[in-house]
């Protein structure tokens, strides 16, 4: 079999109809020959409108849920602006990229993918990062994620991957989780997903905040200049405060302590004036680069490492205003990948081509009709004129006698085409037979997955292994677990052995058959590591101070001053919400009651207790958990001498590590906040695991 015949992305032959399996058909009953690939012109050409099977399949999928989104149902949005810092007038006629310093209004919606609207924020999941830019020449929807690749190469498989990830249809659970049989069954039969698996099993899938995560356009797009010359582009949003995620155990407890943790974080940041900010970076390249690059730039399961093609920063995104009404704005905002202004165009990425075809159906179904652009959050901010009329909930209709073109009514005849300013597609020359195929250049499914894994620090590699063990331990069928390990053997033998050991496999399976052997020569990329791209300060983070009666007032003031100067937020945790009286007689109100303010809510903690307070807290389960969790989650802990008994009762080893910082005088507070810029003391977890295995 050649790779171009109907088959899976990894080269394996698909199951065909037998006596035990009826033939797959359309809703009209027509048997389907290939359910893996959309119909396109040549292996790398554009998709064709006549692909009725894809149209029917995606159309039905887009209409499966009423009224919430099928995917990205749980979201949170905010308003802001994009400011251009470097002109791109030489490579694109897109108006938004012309004038340095000009600001463009934006609306951004962050989301989880798999969970329902009522699920919790800290699910292990991809995060949507969708940006609507209200440009002078129409709305531009850059609809991306916090991960630069996706599970599938062809949009015809999108209903399948989401069906597999969603709650199983016979029982409607688990919610907002992929730790179940149907997801891993699909993934283990879909080798093209293996790069994405590395990302979602990494800490990228449990970000600390929307403010501390990347955004990606995922696909390869085009920029067109005034002469319609093309430059390929990949879009990146990079947080100015650096990357940060949480530990898995911490995510589980955060979902219980505050299922709205990400929402609250964004709301608080904007309303306190700590406006979240990202840089817009572009990877720009021409056809010559695309031709010589090791992988196909149209493959949405691949990246271009930043070490090979640096990211050029051209602007900044700032969120400075929360919504006035959640439903009217965050729920009713409609993003469509096909919404691009003149000067921005599409590539033949088959997943992008399918998204362009699909999203309009989604919005029509969810928002009740074709006039969703009349809603304020979706309406362009620039002048617009067309002959579209009527329909459900029409609020804007053309006036006068003429509602068609061409017409001969002169100035009263309404708008006309503008060949100069109007949108023009790149005049690509595509040729080839009509067929359902994957190009040969899409066939390597393991090399970049391996590159991602070896680019991680040891603690990040450990977390990937832990995540795979956790997820696959929830899978009931042993054959699915073993099948996943067979793929991991093609990615990295150490990872496969770790997961196999954690699952209790008595022997390793044979490595999965690979359409292309895994390349061993791809070097690590530091840009792929969260730890290596963390912040250099504690700015934008939150310090929790556990305060008891009689605590040292001078140390409290020193901690608050140092944290505030460092750009951090301080919250007090007290045994009673009314607060605690300090050593100088002043009362510090509690932001959190101890029973409702666990340490998972904070990035670092300080134990500011008196001798009497420590003795009381040592017998308090919530206090012991506060300390034990902070220590177990590798957070930096400042403590007074009086806190020693509490540390001991919480199970903290008597020989404290460098992540536990004594607090005796004011200068210690300054040093502690500087130390907190590292965010976590990860050697603690690595040491603990080694000790447990010894």
SS (H, E, C) 421-462: CCCCCCCCCCCCCEEECCCHHHCCCCHHHHHHHHCCCHHHHH
Measured between alpha carbons, how far is 404 from 180 in angstroms, rounded to an integer?
54
Triad 116, 120, 122: Cα angle to 5° = 120
Q: List phi, psi (to 5°) of 324.
A: -85, -35
- Reference 335, options 299, 363, 300, 305; nearest CA is 363
Task: State the residue for tokens 């607090």.
Answer: 663
Cross-strand partners of 546: 573, 607
- Reference 647, options 668, 630, 672; nearest CA is 630
Helix axis angle, 478-491 to 447-454, nearest 10° = 80
Q: List phi, psi (to 5°) of 59.
A: -55, -50
- Reference 266, options 203, 207, 225, 216; nearest CA is 207
List, as own/partner pairs, every contact residues 433-437 make where C-beta atoms lie below 8 angstroms and the sequence separation is at least 24, other chains included: 433/42, 434/39, 434/40, 434/41, 434/48, 435/4, 435/39, 435/40, 435/42, 435/43, 436/6, 436/33, 436/34, 436/36, 436/37, 436/38, 436/39, 436/40, 437/4, 437/5, 437/6, 437/37, 437/40, 437/43
Task: State the residue for tokens 């920029």.
Answer: 223
Say which residues have a Cβ less than 8 Å from residue 104's Cβ, sequence separation at least 6: 81, 82, 83, 84, 96, 133, 134, 135, 136
CA-atom Rg of the chain in angstroms? 27
- Residue 41 burial (10 A CB sphere; 0-12, 13-18, 19+): middle
CA dihedral 614, 616, 619, 621 (to 10 degrees): -80
Give the C-alpha distances (Å, rounded to integers) separating 273 from 253, 267, 320, 568, 601.
28, 10, 8, 12, 20
CA dihedral 591, 595, 598, 602 (to 10 degrees): 0
Under a CB-based contact definition with an 8 Å cutoff, are residues 378 and 332 in contact?
yes
Task: State the residue for tokens 């690590």.
Answer: 524
Cross-strand partners of 312: 282
Measured between alpha carbons, how far is 668 from 636 in angstroms, rounded to an integer?
13
Q: List phi, psi (to 5°) of 607.
A: -105, 100
Measured between alpha carbons, how far is 144 from 397 in angstroms, rounded to an integer?
32
Measured between alpha carbons, how far is 107 from 266 in angstroms, rounded to an integer?
14
| Helix and strand totals (H; E) in the chain | 19, 20
Instruction: Show which residues are catalytic.
Output: 72, 145
- DSSP class of residue 530 equals T
């Amino acid at each position: 079999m050649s790779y171009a015949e109907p088959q899976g992305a990894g080269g394996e032959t698909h199951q065909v109809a037998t006596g035990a399996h009826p033939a797959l058909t359309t809703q009209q009953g027509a048997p389907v020959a290939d359910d893996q690939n959309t119909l396109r012109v040549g292996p790398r050409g554009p998709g064709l409108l006549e692909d009725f099977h894809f149209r029917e399949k995606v159309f039905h999928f887009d209409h499966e849920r009423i009224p919430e989104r099928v995917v990205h149902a749980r979201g949170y949005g905010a308003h802001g602006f994009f400011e251009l810092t470097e002109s791109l007038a030489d490579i694109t006629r897109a108006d938004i990229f012309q004038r340095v310093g000009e600001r463009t209004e934006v609306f951004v919606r962050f989301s989880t993918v798999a969970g329902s609207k009522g699920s919790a924020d800290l699910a292990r999941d991809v995060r949507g990062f969708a940006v609507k830019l209200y440009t002078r020449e129409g709305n531009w929807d850059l609809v991306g994620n916090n991960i630069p690749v996706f599970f599938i190469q062809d949009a015809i498989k999108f209903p399948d991957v989401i069906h597999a990830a969603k709650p199983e249809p016979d029982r409607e659970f688990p919610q907002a989780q992929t730790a179940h049989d149907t997801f891993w069954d699909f993934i283990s039969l879909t080798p093209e997903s293996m790069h994405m698996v590395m990302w979602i099993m990494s800490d990228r899938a449990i970000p600390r905040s929307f403010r501390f995560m990347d955004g990606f356009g995922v696909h390869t797009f085009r920029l067109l200049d005034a002469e319609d010359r093309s430059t390929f582009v990949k879009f990146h949003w990079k947080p100015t405060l650096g990357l940060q995620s949480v530990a898995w155990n911490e995510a589980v407890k955060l979902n219980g302590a505050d299922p709205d943790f990400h929402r609250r974080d964004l709301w608080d940041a904007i309303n306190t004036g700590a406006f979240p900010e990202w840089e817009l970076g572009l990877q720009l390249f021409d056809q010559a680069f695309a031709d010589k690059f090791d992988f196909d730039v149209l493959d949405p399961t691949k990246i271009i490492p930043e070490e090979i093609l640096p990211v050029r920063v051209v602007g900044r995104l700032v969120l400075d205003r929360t919504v006035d009404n959640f439903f009217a704005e965050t729920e009713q905002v409609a993003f469509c990948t096909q919404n691009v202004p003149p000067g921005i165009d599409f590539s033949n990425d088959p997943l992008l081509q399918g998204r362009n075809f699909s999203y309009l159906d989604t919005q029509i179904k969810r928002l009740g009709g074709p006039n969703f652009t009349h809603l304020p959050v979706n309406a362009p901010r620039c002048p617009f004129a067309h002959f579209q009329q009527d329909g459900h909930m029409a609020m804007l209709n053309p006036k006068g006698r003429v509602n068609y073109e061409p017409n001969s009514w002169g100035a009263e005849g309404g708008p006309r085409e503008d060949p100069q300013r109007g949108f023009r597609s790149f005049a690509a020359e595509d040729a080839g037979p009509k067929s359902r195929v994957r190009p040969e250049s899409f066939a390597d499914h393991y090399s970049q997955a391996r590159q991602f894994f070896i680019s991680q620090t040891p603690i990040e590699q450990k977390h990937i292994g832990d995540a795979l063990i956790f997820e696959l331990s929830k899978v009931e069928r042993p054959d699915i677990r073993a099948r996943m390990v067979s793929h991991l053997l093609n990615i990295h033998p150490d990872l496969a052995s770790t997961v196999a050991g954690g699952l209790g496999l008595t022997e390793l399976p044979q490595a999965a058959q690979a359409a292309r052997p895994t390349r061993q020569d791809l070097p690590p990329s530091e840009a792929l590591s969260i730890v290596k791209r963390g912040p250099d300060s504690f700015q934008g983070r939150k310090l929790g101070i556990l305060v008891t009666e009689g605590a040292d007032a001078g140390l409290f003031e020193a901690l608050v001053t140092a944290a505030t100067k460092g750009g951090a937020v301080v919250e007090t945790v007290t045994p009673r919400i009314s607060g605690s009286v300090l050593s100088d007689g002043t009362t510090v109100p509690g932001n959190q009651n101890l029973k409702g303010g666990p340490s998972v809510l904070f990035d670092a903690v300080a134990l500011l207790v008196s001798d009497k307070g420590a003795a009381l807290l040592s017998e308090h389960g919530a206090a012991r958990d506060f300390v034990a969790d902070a220590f177990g989650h590798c957070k930096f802990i400042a403590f007074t001498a009086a806190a020693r008994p509490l540390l001991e009762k919480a199970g903290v080893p008597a020989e404290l590590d460098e992540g536990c910082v004594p607090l005796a005088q004011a200068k210690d507070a300054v040093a502690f906040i500087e130390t907190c810029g590292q965010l976590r003391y990860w050697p603690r977890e690595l040491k603990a695991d080694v000790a447990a295995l010894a």
